[in-house]
Amino acid sequence: MKIRNFLFVPLMAFALSSCGGGGSSIAEESFVSGNGSVSYIKPSDRIAAPALSGMTLSGKNYTFNVGQVAVVNVWASWCAPCRAEAPTLAALSEKYTDVAFMGILTRDNPVNAEAFARRFALPYPTLIDDSVLIGFRKSLPANAIPSTVLIDKRGDVAARISGEVTFASLSELIEKVSAE
């Protein structure tokens, strides 16, 4: 009996502690964090990215035009890894001015997202239409928050980082896809 209690109490404590998030949002409860893994698709195996257009956090219409490399970051203001990677994405968007950077807000409210974008001085547009994510389902879906997808100059999905980006990992992918 004592051995069973010895195992049961720590397991229950772990299970209960992993359920909490401090918030009441259903989105937070279903949050899946990526591990930073990189997926790269060789050019011959790529498929077209969805059309990337819609209303942005700033209330403007945005349309990405194929012909340049694009970095698409899926984020939410309540996501700790999103907060951690925001300065890196902002810095990389300033470094790679020939690459289109954009965000896609998911499972968040616009007021919190606007505050996030101001706080981290995100210099690129963020689409607020969650349905854009559905278009990635046949290639490299945004399976975690954050997820970052690279689109090549032809408009095809070239790579994804599932989880928080690093300066080195995203720079390497941008340079590899840009050189194609």
Please report, for the domain that includes residue 129, its CATH number.
3.40.30.10
pLDDT at 124: 96
Q: Has residue 162 been placed in a domain?
A: yes
Number of domains in the chain: 1
Q: Which of 77, 99, 74 is nearest to 165 (CA)?
A: 74
Q: How far is Cα 130 from Cα 30, in angstroms, rounded to an integer?
A: 15
Residue 122 has pLDDT above 50, yes or no: yes
Tell me the pLDDT band of 15, cut-offs 50, 70 and 90. very low
Domain that includes residue 51, residue range = 24-178
Domain membership flag for residue 55: yes
| 157 within domain boundaries | yes
> Average pLDDT of 133-152?
82
Of the two residues 142 and 84, the one the predictor is more confident about is 84
101 lies in some domain: yes
In a domain, 138, yes or no: yes
* In the predicted structure, residue 10 carries a pLDDT above the cut 70: no
Q: What is the mean pLDDT of residues 4-11?
A: 41
- Name the pTM for this structure: 0.78
Residue 17 CB burial class (10 angstroms; 0-12, 13-18, ≥19): exposed
- pLDDT confidence of residue 27: 33
Q: Angle, nearest 10°, between helix axes 80-95 and 110-119?
A: 50
CA dihedral 169, 106, 98, 159 (to 10 degrees): 40
Residue 81 to residue 166: CA distance in whole angstroms: 11
What's the chain's average pLDDT?
81
At 88-120, the pLDDT tens digits run: 999 999 999 999 999 999 989 889 999 999 999
* Strand partners for 53: 63
Q: Provide the pLDDT for residue 129.
A: 82
For residue 134, being part of any structural domain is answered with yes
Q: Is residue 48 a part of any domain in this protein?
A: yes
Please choose, from the candidates 37, 21, 48, the residue with its C-alpha nearest in 3D space to the C-alpha of residue 152.
Answer: 48
The answer to whether residue 2 is domain-embedded is no
Enumerate the β-bridge partners of residue 63.
53
Q: How confident is the model at residue 130 (pLDDT cuts 50, 70, 90)?
A: confident
23-45 pLDDT, tens digit per residue, is 333 333 333 445 567 889 899 99
